[in-house]
């Protein structure tokens, strides 16, 4: 039985004061929920604050992206060990906003995935098709190419390390991210099952254990049906993670 996971993605929102209010409300609201895992991925400047307010709570924290290099002349970049230093357990990779707005590719996602697991971080690899790809019936082709680009770079030893850190996949149809449109539970289930089968081609035992979460306009009023699907192991929540009551309710539904 896979434990459900809810990851909040704050994107580029927040300041010290509002973060404190939000994190305190979230930790209060989640303190008695013991049957699922909860994470917030905050902007890098606030990782210190997340560490301060979330240490010894049941809410973990993570980065929204990371660079594949360990150190060097990479102005503006953050290395995996820097996230680990600040107590991050998780890191989002290949988010559609990174792919579309910052031209990141399957190859950068693969290099970052590899660097993250080597630093002991749990990567949450985001995959998903655009609206045009969806309408052209290319969902599985696109998701397969995004997954295979990462899987192909992992040696057996790396794959074992990825299992050790409990790698996560997030199916995020781009047409549903931040748009208010959500994949139906059945649509999400079909793609999640496809992702699980793809992992099983590499290792069937791993496939049974890997958590595959859904992202794309999850709200308190649609989470229950999505989380009820057999291959939907939780959610990646953007907009609704900035509203304490909504986020807590989504987490409660995962619990």
Confirm if 196 and 210 have CB atoms less than 8 A apart.
Answer: yes
**Nearest distance from residue 105's CB to ligand PEP, in Å?**
18
CA 7 to chain centre: 6
Tokens at 108, concatenated: 């950068």
- Of 106, 102, 108, 97, nearest to 68 (Cα)? 108
**Nearest distance from residue 172's CB to ligand PEP, in Å?**
5
Q: Is 134 a catalytic residue?
A: no
Cα–Cα–Cα angle for 235, 153, 203, nearest 5°?
65
Q: Report the residue number, 199 or 237, with the smaller CB distance to ligand PEP.
A: 237
Contacts of 104 (CB under 8 A, 6+ apart): 94, 98
What gap in Å lies between CA 199 and CA 180, rounded to an integer? 29
DSSP 3-state assignment of 87? coil
- Of 42, 101, 112, nearest to 77 (Cα)? 112
Rounded (10°) angle between helices 139-151 and 106-118: 40
Burial of 45 (0-12, 13-18, 19+ CB in 10 A): exposed
Catalytic option among 172, 192, 246, 249: 172
- Which chain residues interact with ligand PEP by CB under 6 A? 9, 11, 172, 177-178, 215-218, 236-240
Q: Report the residue number, 62 or 216, with the smaller CB distance to ligand PEP.
A: 216
**Nearest distance from residue 93's CB to ligand PEP, in Å?**
12
**Nearest distance from residue 17's CB to ligand PEP, in Å?**
22
Q: Report the residue number, 62 or 238, with the smaller CB distance to ligand PEP.
A: 238
What gap in Å lies between CA 189 and CA 201, rounded to an integer? 18
Beta-carbon neighbour count of residue 181 at 10 Å? Answer: 12
The strand pairing partners of 124, in sequence order, are 92, 168
**Nearest distance from residue 78's CB to ligand PEP, in Å?**
19
The residues annotated with a catalytic role in the active site are 95, 172
């Amino acid at each position: 039985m896979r434990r459900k996971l809810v990851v909040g993605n704050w994107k580029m929102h927040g300041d010290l004061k509002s973060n404190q209010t939000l994190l305190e409300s979230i930790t209060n609201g989640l303190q008695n929920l013991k049957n699922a895992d909860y994470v917030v991925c905050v902007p890098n400047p606030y990782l210190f604050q997340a560490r301060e307010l979330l240490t010894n709570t049941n809410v973990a924290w993570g980065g929204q992206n990371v660079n594949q290099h360990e150190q060097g002349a990479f102005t503006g970049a953050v290395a995996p060990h820097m996230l680990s230093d600040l107590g991050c357990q998780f890191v989002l990779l290949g988010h559609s906003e990174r792919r579309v707005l910052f031209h990141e590719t399957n190859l950068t996602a693969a290099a970052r995935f590899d660097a993250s697991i080597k630093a002991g971080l749990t990567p949450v690899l985001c995959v998903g098709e655009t609206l045009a790809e969806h309408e052209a019936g290319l969902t599985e082709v696109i998701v397969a190419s995004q997954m295979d680009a990462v899987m192909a770079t992992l040696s057996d030893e790396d794959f074992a390390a990825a299992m050790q850190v409990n790698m996560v996949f997030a199916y995020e149809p781009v047409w549903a991210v931040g748009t208010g449109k959500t994949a139906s539970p059945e649509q999400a289930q079909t793609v999640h099952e496809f992702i699980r089968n793809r992992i099983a081609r590499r290792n069937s035992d791993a496939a049974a254990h890997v958590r595959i979460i859904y992202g794309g306009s999850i709200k308190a009023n649609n989470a229950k049906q999505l989380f009820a699907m057999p291959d939907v192991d939780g959610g990646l929540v953007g907009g609704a993670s900035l509203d304490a009551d909504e986020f807590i309710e989504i987490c409660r539904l995962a619990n």
